């Protein structure tokens, strides 16, 4: 066996779900960041286990023809896993990820090309920066891949451009007044995280300062810096005293402006709070939801169930063309937001229920509630089996399945196909350029 760290040359065969290249070496899978299938690379292996190993890339002997210079120098954060692959090839890769997942369940219907962005940078409307201190200097950035070590980041190209200015102001304040970043081991310090949210259409900005305790030293000086930045309409201090990885605590106070900002999607207005779930790529969200609306093929006479509805964004899209939309979501705050958003947009043909989908959907069915069309947008694990069973029992004419995980999508589609539905349209959408993530919308028709 080669010694730990001794350079070896390997051929990359495939990509992992984290975007690392995978090569075979002495009966092991070797995971190599920033490599592509077909490349021959020289690496230094480490973390060698009986069945797998990690490796540091030393040199690329045979370069992939679609390799490009990454748009960002901070490759260690692992956020842009495919930044070294040309964007058009990223879209082809994501289409193939969906194809492969469906074929694993004997679903062979054609998959449309992945819908991408014209400009796949500066698309995120939400950023969460971890804050630490090192030798008295503030460290504000993202976690190094597979660790809780913070990479100090000056600018992130996929974030809204204004985040750079905001983080620079906070960094300046921390230096000037010796404000301590959070020490995870000692559970001490002041500032734990900075969350920044933007309304892309409205340009409104919210800054959330997550602190360990109620104390925020030199608050007035920080507010003076931040309020000079254009479009900041909300500054909130959120207090999270718990020694856990959860970003936000339950307690917060408004330091400036309001507790929400607004944004617009598809001529609809949505309030966004610090805790709100809201898709982080608004341009592609419009593409995703417009596709789901088209797949629903509404005529104005249908009752639609929107299962796992969140704050009601898809529900309100659908309500503009449906007779009635019933939304179900487990998070109570999200349902409150959904009802508020419906009222704000003067949409009166919606009803929202809070609870587990596997409990609420069967209960509504038992109460003789019927869906002509069902739209389902579950978490990564996919639909609960009881939800699938109840959907089938309702016998809707169409099901529109919105998925963020090809494997669970394929599993659930196979169940639905065995239960009287067939897949008619499959459309991937690139919500997270430069990553391995892909959203997929599928239309199913009742046989």
Query: Would you please indicate which residues are annotated as catalytic (active-site) residues?
Result: 404
Distance CA 350, CA 246 (A): 32
Q: Give the count of beta carbons closer than 10 Å to the beta carbon of residue 318.
A: 28
Phi-psi category of 187—alpha, beta or left, where left has phi over 0 and alpha has psi -120 to 50?
Answer: left
In the Cβ-directed half-sphere of 236, how many Cα atoms lie within 13 Å?
Answer: 28
For residue 204, report the phi and psi dihedrals to the nearest 5 degrees: -65, 145
- SS3 call for 216: coil
Q: Indicate the angle between helix axes 357-366 and 385-394, nearest 10 degrees.
A: 20
Residue in 311, 315, 309, 204 with CA at minimum distance from that of residue 260: 204
**What is the three-class DSSP state of 171?**
helix
The residue ranges of DSSP E strands in 259-376, in sequence order, are: 260-265, 268-273, 303-307, 324-329, 350-354, 373-376
**Which class for 418: exposed (0-12), middle (13-18), buried (19 or more C-beta within 10 A)?**
exposed
């Amino acid at each position: 066996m080669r010694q730990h760290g001794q350079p070896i040359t390997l051929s990359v065969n495939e990509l992992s779900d984290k975007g690392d290249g995978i090569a075979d070496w002495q009966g092991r899978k070797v995971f190599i960041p920033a490599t592509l299938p077909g490349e021959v690379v020289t690496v230094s292996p480490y973390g060698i286990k009986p069945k797998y190993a990690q490796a540091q890339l030393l040199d690329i002997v045979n370069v992939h023809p679609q390799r490009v210079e990454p748009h960002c120098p901070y490759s260690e954060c692992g956020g842009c896993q495919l930044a070294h692959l040309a964007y058009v090839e990223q879209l082809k890769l994501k289409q193939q990820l969906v194809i492969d997942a469906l074929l694993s369940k004997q679903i062979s219907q054609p998959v449309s090309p992945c819908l991408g962005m014209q400009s796949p940078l500066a698309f995120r409307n939400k950023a969460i920066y971890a804050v630490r201190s090192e030798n008295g200097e503030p460290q504000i950035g993202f976690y190094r891949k597979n660790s809780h070590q913070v990479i100090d980041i000056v600018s992130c190209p996929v974030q809204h451009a204004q985040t750079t200015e905001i983080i620079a102001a906070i960094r300046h304040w921390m230096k000037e007044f010796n404000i301590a970043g959070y020490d995870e081991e000692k559970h001490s310090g002041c500032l734990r995280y900075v969350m920044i949210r933007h309304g892309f259409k409205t340009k409104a900005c919210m800054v959330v300062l997550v602190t360990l305790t109620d104390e925020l030293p030199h608050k007035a000086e920080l507010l003076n810096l931040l309020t000079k930045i254009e479009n900041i309409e909300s500054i909130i201090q959120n207090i999270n005293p718990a020694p856990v990885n959860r970003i936000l605590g339950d307690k917060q106070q408004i330091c400036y402006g309001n507790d929400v900002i607004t944004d617009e999607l598809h001529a609809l207005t949505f309030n966004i709070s610090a805790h709100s779930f809201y898709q982080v790529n608004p341009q592609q969200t419009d593409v995703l939801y417009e596709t789901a609306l088209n797949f629903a093929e509404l005529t104005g006479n249908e009752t639609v169930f929107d299962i796992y509805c969140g704050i009601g964004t898809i529900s309100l899209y659908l309500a503009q063309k449906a007779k009635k939309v019933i939304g179900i979501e487990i998070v109570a705050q999200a349902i409150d937001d959904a009802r508020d958003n419906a009222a704000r947009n003067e949409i009166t043909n919606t009803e929202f229920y809070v609870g587990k989908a596997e409990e609420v959907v069967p209960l509504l069915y038992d109460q003789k509630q019927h869906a002509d069309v069902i739209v389902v947008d579950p978490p990564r694990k996919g639909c609960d089996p009881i939800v699938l069973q109840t959907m089938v029992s309702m016998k809707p004419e169409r099901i529109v399945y919105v998925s963020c995980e090809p494997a669970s999508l394929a599993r659930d589609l196979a169940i639905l196909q065995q239960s009287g539905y067939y897949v008619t349209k499959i459309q991937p959408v690139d919500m997270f350029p430069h990553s391995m993530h892909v959203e997929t919308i599928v239309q199913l028709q009742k046989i």
